[in-house]
Chain A
């Protein structure tokens, strides 16, 4: 909502300057977004013709390259004989309405060439009658890119009006607030007495459930619609509206002044019987914005029996629109249902000034006054004979009543307010009330639909009094509660644990490209977003890998071949609230070492990833003995080069998976930098350790007896997994075998095709004594035997 201080002074008797107005507006909840001289939203700019050439298909037309400021050059077709290189003139862009003839400028194709606007003559701009050629401007006075109309106008204060304050969508409402805040006196509305010269020939019938509760109207005959006078044009322009013609400008003026939308119909284009009814699905309606809308059954229509005249409270119809030739008008001031208006406007995608206001609420008691004021000004500017005003539908509007206990103020705000202050504020805001023993019976003015209960009154009082009056109460240190739950601690620990292993944390959108997500995830249609921001962000991700791989690819394009990135975030398995799990996913690609004098280039391998996951799981508090790795795959992993970590052998809790991303999947991304490795840790499955610190450590047991190491090499069938060999050997003698290391795995050479050689190093130590040779030899023999029995392994000589 834009206002100027002069317009404000139509309603507010004040001598304060604009700075004071701005700071007061901010303090009372009418946030000032900007203060700027109108023109930004205007469509007429100072422009310079850079180059002219003949139109390829028309002898009398020229094709001009025009600089409209900030280096923007447009092609414009122009017929003026004085259009020439270097000329400073006025450019009207798409959206501009030419003051002289009300022509709306669009991008148009003129004889095969697109023209992005128009260069204007003085007559077209309304500054003189000179219509020969385009306006020629002095380059000393005018700057390319600046607005042509700006010099006439004072700065507009652009206020962001919160949805509750519909009363401030009119200048008068803002003036009332400023007056209450002590900036001056609110000037009473002038009383308007209209003299009806003729009888109102219109009959308005409001059907039930039409979405219109009241319809005031007036007929004016024999007007001369004209260009508006300067005062009116200036007002509209400074507040960001384009003047059109006197009748239209007056209705807009009253909307901005009193938050009272009006609509004027060309009475010669409509019949005298007007029916207000609900719209039907599929009805067609050509609106003022030149769009042909197919209606839904939720709108309110102003109709004749055969014709739709307008979509009530939203937009007028093209067929009954006002032009400079209009002689007789039918003027509407009505009340429309906010919900109905909101629904239909949203469905049709229309965002008009009237809709914006009706949706938020208008004052029913200004309906008739606004109409009278419009008639009065139309009579003044355009003449004409006026009919009586007729109101169809409801005309008695009740006020809301609220009981307010002034103790409530202290309870909510923390400090007291005097009854003098309460009364003064309520009075100035237009509330009527009776007080007895701190209880106020308040009658809410009809322009404040947002005031419904006690706390609303509290807000009004503190808002005007100033939020800076609220006494600050310092918080106290309080450590009585745990800040994080066990699960939350775990998530945060896991994040930093992975980062500490050289991975960079990223955060990507929770949605992704459905085509890519289906490579990793569930391909669940329920996860599709009905109104995605773009086609490549059309689904909630069911895998953390989808976005990570996309970004890996982007970074490769930035010339980063070696990458370690991870994300900790939600992935979704259904579209119901809560159907999500927290996952840490990481991707590593490229080399571990590159161009280093100490080591050869070293590629990332699966064990790099596996170790990272393993170490993290242990750090997260998983007992090493309970952690089980299994050679199992998912479709997006290489079937032979991936695995899973479970808690315990019964494999109920999947803690993590890891592996080389399936080369078939990698191919889909067109990543050619060698294998890609990834892991996922399923944080929801990690058990939370809630032990007290005092219980966390086991008993301290160590052995000081000598430990012995023995090496063995076996030839064994390839199919046997290292995990099984290690488990089998540990189980042979848990007391003596302390550690098993695999230090060589080898196949090929002189070893049989289906066999491999595996070399083991065992650490043997007793808790009770130093072992003698005999005991060690016995254990060695048992090892060889069980290897033979369990795996058909032979000791390599």
Chain B
């Protein structure tokens, strides 16, 4: 027994005196390593008998556990200290800038086309497309605008041939013709896309964007047209209160025809859509002219409906406060950075049309 007490005293003192992880590891091997003092003592068990043996073994095991715990705890202490020391030394200034990131952007016109698509998509419109180069028939004649009609002069048309048969579409309306000629009613489409007019000044660019709408079915009347545009304008401008006015107008391909104005006011030189007392024209529309339907082989005694055309660039300017139309197409990276949208900001009905 004395040996056990002696060893306990000896090792406790040695553990106390260890002032480094190296020294405590030495103590550990002195106790439990090859020929370690505590290990050696276990050999003595075999020399004892009966009660003595039992007591000796029990006390020796207690000693072993005790010393082992003390050593391990001391080691953990040293390790913790070491880690803490290392951690305090390893500090990095995380406020330093990381590697430069370049953010991609989506052009406002693309964003607005996607917004418009999401809004009209929810009420049953699907997207149709047509070519940028059109023949004169689809762009004018089929749309009830015969040759030498003064309305043609209002579209300054780009031509690709001397005979003026092939042109760059002056509006998205030829998509109406293509849609109706290639299918059977009912039709319910929107057609966003590029349009071209030979005009360039402060407020006109030779290329711009429109979205066409066409809804032909049995008994679609002007009340439906009004309802759809009212719905669109509210959703698009994300304002509850909006003043909208239908004014009679003229387009050869609709009868009756209308232009739609929305109310706005100027606050600090910026247009605020909503309740103001000023009016801004934003789109043209009407009931599709029977001649257009006839040109497209649609039976006018059964089917009728409406069409509309909205300037997309204009919508973008109004909603996002962009002043200069020409800047849309100038690829100034500062402008794209400023007015562009995050590519993950996809307009959709389930997550809202803008974030």
Contacts and interface: CB of A to CB of B under 8 A. Distances in A.
A396 interface: no
Nearest to B159: A530
Contact of A342 (B148, B158, B248): B148
A564 B132 CA distance: 27
A468 interface: yes
Contact of B337 (A485, A504, A510, A580): A504
A472 B226 contact: yes
A558 B168 contact: no
Interface in B302-355: 304, 328-334, 336-337, 340, 343-344, 346
Given A29-B250, A570-B194, A599 B99 contact: yes
A21 B5 CA distance: 119
B198 A531 contact: yes
Interface stretch (B61-69, B78-86, B107-115): B107-115
Contacts of B162: 530
A165 B106 CA distance: 43
Contacts of B100: 593-594, 596
A555 interface: yes
B160 A527 contact: yes
Interface string A407-431: 0000111110000000000000000
Contacts of A498: 104
B50 interface: no
Nearest to A594: B100
Interface residues of B, number: 93
Given A27-B248, A458-B255, 12 more contacts: A165-B250, A455-B287, A470-B246, A483-B118, A504-B333, A510-B132, A547-B331, A565-B333, A569-B194, A577-B166, A580-B131, A599-B99
B104 A504 contact: yes
A499 interface: yes
B126 interface: yes
B54 interface: no
Given A412-B256, A455-B256, A502-B103, A27 B333 contact: no
A668 to B, nearest CB: 19
A494 to B, nearest CB: 11
A403 interface: no
Nearest to A460: B256
A704 interface: no
Interface string B198-236: 111000011100000000000101111011101100000
A552 to B, nearest CB: 8
B274 interface: no
Contacts of A528: 160
A515 interface: no
A572 B329 CA distance: 19
A31 B329 CA distance: 31
Contacts, number: 267
B151 A163 contact: yes
A533 interface: yes
Contact of A499 (B104, B196, B221, B255): B104
Contacts of A547: 331
A496 B250 contact: no
Contacts of B176: none
Nearest to A588: B102
A58 interface: no
B151 A474 contact: no
Contacts of A578: 131, 133
A505 B150 contact: no
A162 B249 contact: yes
Contact of B122 (A415, A479, A551, A570): A479
A554 interface: yes
Contacts of B297: none
A475 interface: yes
B99 A579 contact: no
B154 A529 contact: no
Contact of B246 (A468, A530, A570): A468
Given A472-B227, A509-B329, A563-B333, A411 B219 contact: yes
Given A163-B150, A510-B168, A529 B158 contact: yes
Contact of A530 (B101, B160, B221, B259): B160
Contacts of A413: 221-223, 256
B28 interface: no
A468 B188 CA distance: 25
* Interface size bracket, A side: 35 or more
Contact of B123 (A28, A475, A558, A568): A475
Contacts of B172: none
Q: Which of A163, A456, A505, A568 has most B Cβ within 10 Å?
A: A505
A81 interface: no
Contacts of B336: 504-506, 565
B104 A501 contact: yes
Identify which of A346, A456, A474 gathers the most chain B CB atoms within 10 Å of its CB: A474
**Interchain residue pairs A-B with the least CB separation, the first 4:** A29-B248, A478-B124, A162-B250, A414-B223
Interface in A460-506: 462-463, 467-468, 470-485, 488, 492, 495-506
A414 B222 contact: yes
A631 interface: no
A339 B231 CA distance: 42
A82 interface: no
Nearest to B194: A510
Given A453-B290, A505-B340, A576-B133, A551 B331 contact: yes
Nearest to A500: B343
A560 interface: yes
A26 interface: yes
A533 B194 CA distance: 17
A471 B223 contact: yes
B124 A507 contact: no
B87 interface: no
Given A473-B226, A575-B133, A467 B246 contact: yes
12 contacts: A31-B247, A163-B150, A455-B290, A475-B124, A477-B122, A484-B121, A488-B127, A505-B104, A508-B331, A530-B159, A551-B330, A576-B166
Given A360-B150, A533-B198, A470 B226 contact: yes
A576 B110 CA distance: 26
Most buried by A among B98, B331, B336, B340: B331
Contact of A492 (B114, B122, B249): B114
A359 B150 contact: yes
A593 B99 contact: yes
Contacts of B98: 598
Given A475-B228, A507-B328, A596-B99, A532 B126 contact: no
A272 interface: no
Interface in B123-171: 123-127, 129, 131-135, 138, 147-151, 153-154, 158-162, 166, 168
B286 to A, nearest CB: 9
B287 to A, nearest CB: 6
Nearest to A488: B127
Given A163-B154, A476-B123, A479-B122, A496 B256 contact: no
A412 B223 CA distance: 9
Contact of B117 (A470, A483, A540, A594): A483
A145 interface: no
A531 B104 contact: no
Interface in A428-474: 453, 455-456, 458-459, 462-463, 467-468, 470-474
Nearest to B145: A163
Nearest to A30: B248
Nearest to B102: A502
B290 A558 contact: no
B124 A481 contact: yes
Interface string B228-272: 101100000000000001111110100111110000000000000
Contacts of A492: 114
Contacts of B104: 498-505, 564
A343 interface: yes
B289 interface: yes
B134 A474 contact: no
Contacts of B109: 507
